[in-house]
Structure 1
Amino acid sequence: MDKYIYDESNGLWYELQGDYYIPCLTLTAEEERPIGIWGQRHKRYLKEYKNVTYTTLLISGKLNSYLADINEQSQERFERLIEQMNQSQSITEQLKAENALEWTGRMNSIRACAMEIVNKEIIYA
């Protein structure tokens, strides 16, 4: 039996593995973009709860770019939320200079709220 055969009807090469011919398939090259923390969280969510979507993106070669886009959207939303909350609660550099401990506590609270909103709206949606 030949190690490799070519099927003209579908244009695929097959490799002999034991008693069976397995198609020689390769994924298309995907551009490398960093996925960041938000993309990693969404990837973990997809793997655990949306397995079909995760597998489809992986097989199509679009997973990395999809996760990089999610990361960018999430980061932009997170920063915008923090800025809006700072303005609405009148947290300024003057407060930071006068009372650093209070400023730190309020900023940590705002960051936690913004993180919850981004998780609910984008990451775990």
Structure 2
Amino acid sequence: MEQSIFEKMGGTYIKVGDYYVPNLGQFDDKEETDDRPLGKYGMIRETFLKEHRKPLYNHLLLSGELHSHLRDVNEQSQYLLDTLLPQYKANQGVTEELKASKQLLWVGMVNNILAQIEEIIYSEIVYV
């Protein structure tokens, strides 16, 4: 018995219209059910990967792990921000009393702390 052309080529094929195309399968369903937000740091990481780490970006995209990776980066970054912010505020004397008495000074100090923490996040998590 003679093998069909599809058996010789290997793999499975599906009929789309008048043509048979390789059945490449579906990406992991985890992508579709992952409802965590992408967030600021995830979007920055995606842009960085597209522009500076193209092979890694393509690998994550083709393996179906890109969105999960970006959401993980965002969660790690947000966790670090939430952990360091109270520590830095305590170390630099940024209190609620300062907020009540000198609001502009408090805002300036908090913005400075946020900038310091974001530099850590970018250098340790996002731009790696």
TM-score range, shorter chain: 0.7 to 0.9
Cα distance change on mapping 1:7 and 1:67 into 2, 3 Å: farther
Q: Tell me the CA shift for residue 100 of structure 1.
A: 0.8
Partner of 2:107: 104
1:12 equivalenced with 2:12 (yes/no): yes
Query: Following superposition of structure 1 onto structure 2, how do residues 1-125 of structure 1 map, counting pairs within 5 Å?
Result: 6-7=6-7, 10-13=10-13, 23-25=22-24, 26-29=26-29, 30=31, 31-32=33-34, 33-125=36-128
Q: Which has the higher helix share?
A: 2
Q: TM-score, normalised by structure 1?
A: 0.82
Contact 1:46 1:53 in 2 (8 A): yes
Query: How much has 1:10 moved relative to structure 2?
Result: 3.4
Pair 9,41 (structure 1): closer, same or farther in 2 beyond 3 Å: same
Q: What is the TM-score normalised by the length of structure 2?
A: 0.80
Q: Which runs of 5+ in 2 are unaligned?
A: none
* Cα-to-partner distance string for 1:4-51 (whole Å, 9 max, x where unaligned): x744763321669xxxx7523243332333211100000111111111
What secondary structure does 2:27 align onto? coil
Report the identity percentage.
Answer: 39
Alpha-carbon offset, residue 114 of structure 1: 0.9
1:63 and 1:11 map into 2 onto residues whose CA distance is 26
- Indicate conservation of the 8 Å contact 1:95/1:103, yes or no: yes
SS in 1 for 2:94: coil
1:14–1:23 contact (8 Å) kept in structure 2: yes
